[in-house]
């Protein structure tokens, strides 16, 4: 009887040990997959490129009276940074704060469809962007107002309201 108990315990131990090895191997494979996905998600540079293009396009939309487009560009400029929530969790709050606080006046000017206020706040944001870049160690990235929109394939002079953007 004692011999059978020892055998059962030994077999049980082998099963447990083997299954934990399988779980460990599966866990390592799963971690490799997660690491691969994380490596493929854009960090800050790629979303920031989209942010920059949308920011520039926003200016030309506001200048052309296309307030719906200006509002749309602002909305999706912010959403472009969503990958950084995962890939740069320490840096993302700086973006979140910038958009919520520094950029609020631009959004307010868009909502009011006030070209003079928009131009004033747009220029203030450029200065804020450049200060942030310096503060984060990227002082070699200086934003400037473009002479033409980043995307030439959009009609910027189409009359629209800021409220035309679907929720």
Q: Does residue 89 share a domain with residue 16?
A: no
User: pLDDT of 104-121, one tens digit each?
Assistant: 999 999 999 999 999 999
Q: Does residue 90 share a domain with residue 159?
A: yes
Which residues in 23-48 are b (16+ Cβ under 10 Å) and which e? eeeeeeeeeeeeeeeeeeebebeebb
Total structural domains within the chain: 2
Instruction: Please identify which residue in the block is written with the tokens 């929530």.
Output: 85
Q: Does residue 81 share a domain with residue 34?
A: no
Q: Does residue 10 share a domain with residue 89?
A: no
Distance in angstroms (rounded) separating the CA atoms of residues 143 and 75: 20
In this prediction, residue 4 carries a pLDDT of 55
Q: Does residue 143 share a domain with residue 104?
A: yes
Q: 152 pLDDT exceeds 80?
A: yes
Query: By the 8 A CB rule, do 58 and 103 touch?
Result: no
Q: Which domain holds residue 20?
A: 1-40
Write the DSSP symbol of residue 139.
T
* pTM of the predicted protein model: 0.78
User: pLDDT of 12-49, one tens digit each?
Assistant: 444 555 545 445 556 788 888 888 887 888 788 889 99
Q: Does residue 13 share a domain with residue 80?
A: no
Q: Does residue 136 share a domain with residue 82?
A: yes
């Amino acid at each position: 009887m004692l011999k059978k108990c020892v055998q059962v315990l030994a077999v049980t131990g082998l099963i447990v040990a083997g299954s934990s090895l399988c779980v460990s191997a599966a866990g390592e494979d799963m971690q490799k997959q997660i690491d691969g996905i994380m490596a493929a998600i854009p960090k800050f540079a790629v979303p920031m490129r989209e942010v920059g293009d949308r920011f520039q396009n926003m200016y030309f939309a506001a200048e052309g009276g296309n307030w719906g487009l200006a509002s749309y560009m602002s909305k999706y400029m912010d959403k472009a940074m969503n990958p950084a929530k995962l890939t740069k969790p320490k840096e993302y709050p700086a973006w979140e704060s910038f958009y919520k606080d520094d950029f609020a006046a631009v959004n307010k000017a868009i909502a009011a469809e006030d070209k003079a206020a928009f131009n004033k706040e747009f220029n203030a944001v450029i200065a804020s962007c450049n200060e942030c870049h310096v503060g984060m160690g990227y002082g070699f990235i200086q934003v400037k107002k473009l002479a033409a929109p980043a995307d030439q394939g959009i009609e910027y002079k189409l009359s629209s309201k800021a409220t035309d953007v679907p929720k």
